[in-house]
Structure 1
Amino acid sequence: MQDYQKRLALSLLAYAVQKNINVEQLCERSGVDIKTLRSETSTDFSTQQFSALWLVATELSRDPFFGLHFGESLQLTALGVVGELLRHSRTIGEALTHAAGFGHLVTDMMTMEMERAEQSFTLRFIPDHDRQIAYPELFRQVMDFFMAFALHEVDGLILRKMNPSVVKMAHGQTKLYEYQRVLRCPIIQRSDTYSMEFASDYWDEPILTADYELQRVLLRKVSTLNDAFANTQVLSERINRYLLANAYMGVPTLDAIAANLNVSSRSLQRKLQEEGVTYQQLTDSMRKSLALHYLKSGNYPVKEVSYILGYNELSAFNRAFRRWTGTTPASYQKKYS
């Protein structure tokens, strides 16, 4: 995944040049060594640096839609072998299905999924709620980027431009016309979800650069990268993603998580200890992230949030929340109401 982040970061720097941003200043303020970033062998490039590049570039560009415009301009070649796989797919439906299946190799801010109906199909963008809460401004820019890129990535690959019939997003209430222009859609609906819906006839639209033999080779290569990514994921991150994805089911026990990962409870504890974290800390972090999200949304009373997070008593939730934030859930919710 680091290789893809580096590739995307270099593309971001190239776009910054087009926006007349001083790249040396951008890298210095972001804590990024440009020589290290351009090195083929170095992996010394962190998620924190990647995040800093985005935010500083947005600031220096003075463009509140930096991510949206970056996504509009980026070419498929910036995604390396994943981009090549999309370019040599047979149809739009096949290309977008591959994009959804391997999108996590490019970003850890969200995942994608396809949903096909009789008259339409929908590309959904599913946020990593933990990162959404921790980096709200970065999250907005990255979501703008991927929604624009997912649409514009097929420009030139088919004999017409794709136009969504409906776009749903959780932000973008200001200067709506810019989202309508870039996303080629007059209907932008405010929603808790992110998605683009297309008429079904786009699904079988043939891609001009399709190469079936090469596609099979690329698919094997990307699948190998995907397997390597899954095997090298930090255990605590895998557990955290599982907890967030299944939060509606409550907080599972350590034994239940161990069984899900096909390891013993003792082995799981040992591996987490090697990563410098405990299972209790992971569940505590997940509860905190979701508590902040639910309370800030204003859609749930404090007592219901306490129940959702698995607290048997409201007083226990109040104590935990005060330990996390220094204030009470009611005071926090009132601040955002």
Structure 2
Amino acid sequence: MGTVPATFARTFAAVAGLALDASGELADGARVLLRVPPGERLDEAHYHALIEAVVAHHGDRAGLAIGYAEALHLDDLGALGLAVKTAPRLRDSLQRVERYYRLVTDSVRYRLDETAAPLFLLDRDGPTREDEEVRDECALAGFARNMRRFVGPELRLEEVTFAHPCRLDAGRLAEWFGCPVRFDAPRTSIAFAPDVLDLPTRLGDPAVSRFLTAHLDAQLAALAPGDPLERALAAHLSEALSTGVPRAGAVARALGMSERTLYRRLSDLGLTYQGVLERTQRSLAESLLAEGHHSLAEVAFLTGFSEQSSFSRAFKRWVGRPPGRFRRAAPIA
């Protein structure tokens, strides 16, 4: 089962005038509407339940989509958001979303299709439920609003389409998007004029963008196939290591469980927290060293070490040679 950042849930709740607190209670003042597991990520089942509760409370789906888009910023996507903003052109930004969005959530995918008129597509597995319809409306509205933020008023949308039936004020949504909005379409997408993809971004910085995409590539490399819990743990660790090695209790809370439950579930898989941590550090370090864009001190910092010497000793223990020799032997990208 996929997971989503709790930031998405808190933003969606706030648009409806509700609060999702640290204990996992969704409340309208003193009245609790729903309880979900606390943490920095929600599994799909609890996120669906939260969306249903918010829609039942608020009722205005067009208002929810517009409010969500205005409230959510690219900075909420962490390193991916910065990589999208600093990409040189809109095409580069959308290609980064296509490649790296699974670091944010593994429940939906985005794709840039330029075979005919350019389309930014949302791909979803399986049948669409009503709460997923709301999620899709919010998602495309959010991307449209943020594209206008980092590209500017030159951005023109040709059409927005949804694969599900219309259950909201389509005219209001079309006015907000600034283009026709069509439902019961073959796909869920945003269509652009061909020249729009070449528009420069306001904060385009090739050097910063290369730095961030190298870091994101290393995070992708750390997401080796395995049990969903192992993948979720590795993804969280890859993002968190640049601020130091997180304690197991803090990671467990971010994943929506107790520290004891995390240890037990890892043990059931024949894994340990320390083992997953070190494999993630090693995979991240190998990717960053092979990229060649970072100094050894930067690689040490990004993999959770406060000192380069400690990192070098650990890397030699993992790989059998110091990081400098590993880098010199790595194929040139």
TM-score where L is the length of structure 1: 0.58
Partners of 2:89 and 2:201 lie apart in 1 by 5
Partners of 1:201 and 1:46 lie apart in 2 by 39
Q: Which amino acid aligns with 2:170?
A: L
Structure 2: unaligned runs, 5 residues or longer: 232-267, 270-333
Shift of 1:138: 1.6
Partners of 2:3 and 2:163 lie apart in 1 by 30
Shift of 1:232: 4.5
Helix, strand or coil: the match of 1:26? strand
Which of 70, 75, 78 is the equivalent residue of 2:76?
Answer: 78
Identity, % of aligned positions: 17
Shift of 1:52: 2.2
Partners of 1:70 and 1:115 lie apart in 2 by 25
Shift of 1:189: 5.2
Residues 1:139 and 2:132 are matched in the alignment: yes
Partners of 1:194 and 1:182 lie apart in 2 by 17
Q: Which residue of 1 aligns with 2:221?
A: 227
Give the 3 Å change call, closer, same or farther, for CA 96–69 of structure 1 in structure 2: same
The superposition leaves residues 299-330 of structure 1 with CA deviations (integer Å, 9 ceiling, x where unpaired) of xxxxxxxxxxxxxxxxxxxxxxxxxxxxxxxx
Shift of 1:161: 4.7
Helix, strand or coil: the match of 1:190? coil
Shift of 1:32: 2.7
Q: Which residue of 1 aligns with 2:259?
A: none
Q: Which residue of 2 aligns with 1:30?
A: 34
Q: Give the alignment of 1:183-198 within 5 angstroms.
A: 183-188=177-182, 190-198=184-192
Helix, strand or coil: the match of 2:54? helix
Shift of 1:69: 3.4
Helix, strand or coil: the match of 1:30? strand
Partners of 1:20 and 1:57 lie apart in 2 by 9
Give RMSD over aligned pairs.
3.0
Partners of 2:83 and 2:76 lie apart in 1 by 12
Q: Which residue of 1 aligns with 2:324?
A: none
Q: Which residue of 1 aligns with 2:119?
A: 122
Shift of 1:105: 2.7
The superposition leaves residues 225-281 of structure 1 with CA deviations (integer Å, 9 ceiling, x where unpaired) of 22333434539x9xxxxxxxxxxxxxxxxxxxxxxxxxxxxxxxxxxxx88xxxxxx
Shift of 1:217: 1.4
The superposition leaves residues 116-170 of structure 1 with CA deviations (integer Å, 9 ceiling, x where unpaired) of 147x31111111115x3xxx12210111111111211122322325232122222
Q: Which amino acid aligns with 1:53?
A: L
Give the 3 Å change call, closer, same or farther, for CA 187–147 of structure 1 in structure 2: closer
Shift of 1:86: 0.4
Which of 158, 162, 176 is the equivalent residue of 2:151?
Answer: 158
Shift of 1:187: 5.0
Give the 3 Å change call, closer, same or farther, for CA 127–91 of structure 1 in structure 2: same
Shift of 1:110: 2.3
Q: Which residue of 2 aligns with 1:6?
A: 6
- Is the contact made by 1:108 and 1:128 (CA closer than 8 Å) also made in structure 2? no
Give the 3 Å change call, closer, same or farther, for CA 52–67 of structure 1 in structure 2: farther
Give the 3 Å change call, closer, same or farther, for CA 49–202 of structure 1 in structure 2: same
Residues 1:50 and 2:47 are matched in the alignment: yes
Helix, strand or coil: the match of 2:207? helix
Shift of 1:75: 0.9
- Is the contact made by 2:156 and 2:196 (CA closer than 8 Å) also made in structure 1? no
Partners of 2:218 and 2:54 lie apart in 1 by 33
Q: Which amino acid aligns with 2:35?
A: G
Give the 3 Å change call, closer, same or farther, for CA 21–7 of structure 1 in structure 2: closer
Whose helix fraction is larger, Structure 1's or Structure 2's? 1
The superposition leaves residues 184-227 of structure 1 with CA deviations (integer Å, 9 ceiling, x where unpaired) of 21252531311221011111111111121111111112122223
- Is the contact made by 1:91 and 1:205 (CA closer than 8 Å) also made in structure 2? yes
Shift of 1:21: 2.4
Partners of 1:233 and 1:222 lie apart in 2 by 21
Partners of 1:47 and 1:216 lie apart in 2 by 32
Size of the alignment, in residue pairs?
223
Residues 1:21 and 2:18 are matched in the alignment: yes
Q: Which amino acid aligns with 2:48?
A: S
The superposition leaves residues 270-303 of structure 1 with CA deviations (integer Å, 9 ceiling, x where unpaired) of xxxx88xxxxxxxxxxxxxxxxxxxxxxxxxxxx
The superposition leaves residues 58-79 of structure 1 with CA deviations (integer Å, 9 ceiling, x where unpaired) of 2222322324531343111111
Partners of 1:183 and 1:71 lie apart in 2 by 11
